Amino acid sequence: DAGVTQSPTHLIKTRGQQVTLRCSPKSGHDTVSWYQQALGQGPQFIFQYYEEEERQRGNFPDRFSGHQFPNYSSELNVNALLLGDSALYLCASRGSRDSFSGANVLTFGAGSRLTVL
Amino acid sequence: RKEVEQDPGPFNVPEGATVAFNCTYSNSASQSFFWYRQDCRKEPKLLMSVYSSGNEDGRFTAQLNRASQYISLLIRDSKLSDSATYLCVVNINYGGSQGNLIFGKGTKLSVKP
């Protein structure tokens, strides 16, 4: 099982450009969440996709958009890049349900490291 | 006030030491609690869930105090391989759905020989 895979692993863009990041969830997982992790910070929730629809969204501007495909894979798009968008972008798919709390544990991919110059 | 706050760290300890991480959360509607571990330039990985009654996994013990909105993680007999950033995580379930995970900033641990 390949787990959660993300591409590209690293990329460099300039201000004002647009970027698309891709994620394939773990086999059998149907929900994908995206997180942004700036240097020295914890991951911050961007949005979550289920059944090809955005189900929840964090405090991110409309420049951040996404898509989920019928095979559950997902894309994160960021338009009009700013220097502050430089971060590690993590994709997570819903994993096994915690037997006690009932919460679904997330499995993260290795991330896409975006540098905006 | 941040939703999840952790000790700023870093913690530098010798092998064999006992280390305690503290975390507080602001939203009393938080339902699930976790500790994740993140190695340098890697993705976060679940270390353990935190149960109301407290739970232990080998050298790791997690505690939850809902009244104080406080979570802790204790590592006994620390190993060099425990060096990582430890992230306190809470989850708020909205209307039965899982909601998203809210991460603390993380506390970096360095275990020295």
Residue B105 pLDDT > 80:
yes
Angle at A80 between CA A74 and CA A83, to 5 degrees: 100
pLDDT score, position B92: 76
| Greater pLDDT, B51 or A45 | A45
Residues of A with CB under 8 A from a CB of B: 33, 35, 40-45, 48, 55-56, 58, 90, 94, 98, 100-111
Instruction: Test A43 with B100 for CB contact under 8 angstroms.
Output: no
Mean pLDDT of chain B, nearest integer = 91
Q: Are A89 and A71 in contact (CB under 8 A)?
A: no
Burial (CB count within 10 angstroms: exposed 0-12, middle 13-18, buried 19+), residue A16: exposed
pLDDT digits (tens, 9 = 90+) for A46-58: 999 999 999 889 9
Instruction: Test B51 with A40 for CB contact under 8 angstroms.
Output: no
- DSSP secondary structure letters along B24-74: EES-TTEEEEEEEEE-TTS-EEEEEE--TT-EEETTEEEEEETTTTEEEEE
Taking the C-alpha atoms of residue B82 and residue B88, their distance in angstroms, rounded to an integer, is: 16
pLDDT digits (tens, 9 = 90+) for A52-93: 999 889 999 999 999 999 999 999 999 999 999 999 999 999
What are the angstrom distances between the C-alpha of A43 and each of A65, B35, B75, B97?
Answer: 17, 13, 23, 20
For residue B48, list chain A residues with Cβ-Cβ distance below 8 A.
none
For residue A41, list chain B residues with Cβ-Cβ distance below 8 A.
105-106
Residues of B with CB under 8 A from a CB of A: 4, 31-34, 42-46, 49, 51, 87, 91, 93-94, 97-106
What is the dihedral angle through the alpha carbons of A16, A92, A36, A57, rounded to the nearest 10 degrees?
Answer: 80
Residue A109 pLDDT > 90:
yes
Within 8 A by CB and 6+ apart from B54, the residues are B61, B62, B63, B64
For residue B49, list chain A residues with Cβ-Cβ distance below 8 A.
98, 100-101, 103, 105
Residue B94 pLDDT > 60:
no
Instruction: Test B42 with A110 for CB contact under 8 angstroms.
Output: yes
Q: Are A17 and A114 in contact (CB under 8 A)?
A: no
| Greater pLDDT, B32 or B65 | B65
Taking the C-alpha atoms of residue A65 and residue A49, their distance in angstroms, rounded to an integer, is: 11
Q: By CA distance, what is A110's nearest residue in B?
A: B43
For residue B53, list chain A residues with Cβ-Cβ distance below 8 A.
none
Instruction: Test A42 with B34 for CB contact under 8 angstroms.
Output: no
Q: Are A75 and A54 in contact (CB under 8 A)?
A: no
